[in-house]
A and B are shown apart, each in its own frame.
Chain A
Amino acid sequence: MKQVTVISGKGGAGKTTVTAMFATLANAVVADCDVDAPNLHILLKPEVIETIPFEGMKKARIVEEKCSRCGLCEELCRFDAIKDFKVDEIRCEGCGFCYRACPEKAIEMVAEKRGEIYITKTEFGDFVYALLYPGEENSGKLVNEVRNIAKKIAKENGIDLLILDGAAGIGCPVIASLAGASVALVVAEPTLSGLNDMVRVIELARHFKIEPLVAINKFDLNLDITSKIEEFCRSNNIEIVGRIPFDEDLPKQIAQLKLPFEGKAGEEIIRIWKNLEEGWL
């Protein structure tokens, strides 16, 4: 099974735009692993076939009938999550300290649905995405489940390629989206923060022995930083697979949810995909 994970470090660099275009070109199962505010489904317009609940971390709940109101839990809680013998679910971090310390065993740890996974079909093929409920903790667990489901669908349908829209940043959600990748496509934004984030996410990909490839998005908006990106890639033996020009017509196409994208940005993304297919997949 081959897998392309599209990452960036910096949010807003253009991962989702690029992944959406790839989805129109490839015979693959696509998954959106950016589970905190997912966006890819907006462009792919999926028809939901199945919804699977996601259970996240357990949180504390005080059983009123057993509580002797000794107040020990409120004293011990470091997160100000217990007041008047009730647990504030939003502040509770699920550490279980109160649950273990309560002399009456009046506290239970409760797992609740903290998100949903959607198995869908789109005009371009099978697509899996998820939504982590707002306010929840984002460890790699939900991302991992999305990826496993996408893999299963691919196997069932004789498809041997997965394309994942990865999360921003370099934390656990990104690591989970990189697991099993043959290629990590790093979408780089030519700004100082973008360059900084790109360097860190490349380090992450390399640690997992996944060869990173770079595509510079809106490269002509800042040629100075674009050349810094090129310099970094050169000195680190990283191949640049494309330079997508800023296309002022693209926001309009995105606004109209028109896929596949046309124009100079769209054409360059097509070229990048063909490049990937021939060279790495």
Chain B
Amino acid sequence: MRIAVSTTNGGLEDKVSEVFGRAVSFTIVDVENGEIKNVEVVRNDYAVRGGGAGIAVSQFLADKGVEVVLTGNVGPNALSVLNSAGIKVYRAGGMKVREAVEKFLKGELEQILVPGDPKFGRHRRSV
């Protein structure tokens, strides 16, 4: 199973990043029989774009065969793309990557489910 965790410096000892779309990097962990078999850190090049960073990153992770995402927070647009791709998302903010993966495997993490329609645009609004 391939798990992607939003991170900053990356790696198992780093903390899970609070943000998804603009996370500095993703730590991709391959798990087999409940054990971590491979760890890869990829830089998030989509963080530097304007709006829709989360949407772009989600497709990137889907292309990489990721099945599960662990992160602090994820926006409604990114979440809907992850869901369309069949990727499940779990809340793991404030933990170290290793701990987050272990807790996920034990079924202790809260799943982030589909929100309502995306309402929020990219410019300042005061309506």
A172 in contact with B123 (CB, 8 Å): yes
What residues of chain A lie closer than 8 Å to B115, measured between beta carbons? 207
Query: Are B120 and A175 within 8 A (Cβ)?
Result: yes
A168 to B123, CA, bound (A): 10
In the complex, whether A173 has a CB less than 8 A from a CB of chain B is yes
Binds B, one of A132-140, A212-220, A240-248: A132-140
B73 touches A172 (CB 8 A): no
Flag whether B37 is at the interface (Cβ < 8 A). no
Q: Is B11 at the interface (CB under 8 A from chain A)?
A: no
The winner among B49, B72, B122 for most chain A CB atoms within 10 A is: B122
Residue of B nearest to A200 (CB): B127
How distant is the Cα of A172 from the Cα of B120 in the complex, in angstroms? Answer: 7
Nearest CB of chain B from residue A263's CB, rounded to whole Å = 29
Contact check, A139 vs B50: say whether CB atoms are below 8 A apart.
yes
Which chain B residue has the least Cβ–Cβ distance from A207? B115
Main SS class of interface, B: loop
Closest chain B CB from A27 CB (angstroms): 21
Per-residue CB contact flags for chain A residues 202-213 toward chain B (1 = under 8 Å, else 0) read: 011001110000
Indicate if the CB atoms of A207 and B19 lie closer than 8 Å.
no
Residue of A nearest to B8 (CB): A148
* A140-B51, A207-B76 known; A169+B125 contact, CB < 8 A: yes
Does A14 touch B at the CB level, under 8 Å? no
Contact of B48 among A141, A171, A204 (CB under 8 A): A141
If A57-B50, A180-B72, A207-B115 touch, does A171 touch B125 (CB 8 Å cutoff)?
Answer: yes
Q: A140-B51, A180-B18, A207-B115 are in contact. Are A11 and B126 (CB under 8 A)?
A: yes
Q: State whether the Cβ of A197 lies closer than 8 Å to any Cβ in chain B.
A: yes
- B124 interfacial by beta-carbon distance below 8 Å: yes
A179 to B47, CA, bound (A): 14
Q: B126's contact among A9, A137, A141, A144, by CB below 8 Å, is which?
A: A9
Most A-side CB within 10 Å, residue of B48, B49, B122, B124: B124
Using known A-B contacts A9-B126, A168-B126, determine if residue A208 contacts B73 with beta carbons closer than 8 Å: yes
Which B96-127 residues have C-beta < 8 A from chain A? 115, 119-127
Q: Which residues of A contact B19 (CB under 8 A)?
A: 144, 179-180
Q: Which residue of A lies closest to B24 (CB)?
A: A148
Residues from chain B with Cβ under 8 Å of A167 in the complex: 124
* Closest-CB distance, B114 to chain A (whole angstroms): 12
Chain B residues with Cβ under 8 A from A175's Cβ? 75, 120
Contact with B along A185-200 (1 / 0, CB 8 A): 0000000010011001
B120 interface neighbour in A36, A137, A204, Cβ under 8 Å:
A204
Please determine whether B73 and A209 come into contact, CB atoms closer than 8 angstroms.
Answer: yes
Residue of A nearest to B18 (CB): A180
Task: Report which B residues bind A (CB closer than 8 A).
Answer: 18-19, 22, 47-51, 72-73, 75-76, 115, 119-127
12 A-B pairs within 8 Å (CB atoms) are namely: A139-B50, A167-B124, A169-B125, A169-B126, A171-B120, A171-B124, A171-B125, A176-B22, A179-B22, A180-B73, A197-B126, A208-B73
Seed contacts A170-B120, A171-B121, A208-B73; 6 additional CB < 8 Å A-B pairs = A9-B126, A169-B126, A171-B122, A172-B123, A173-B124, A207-B115
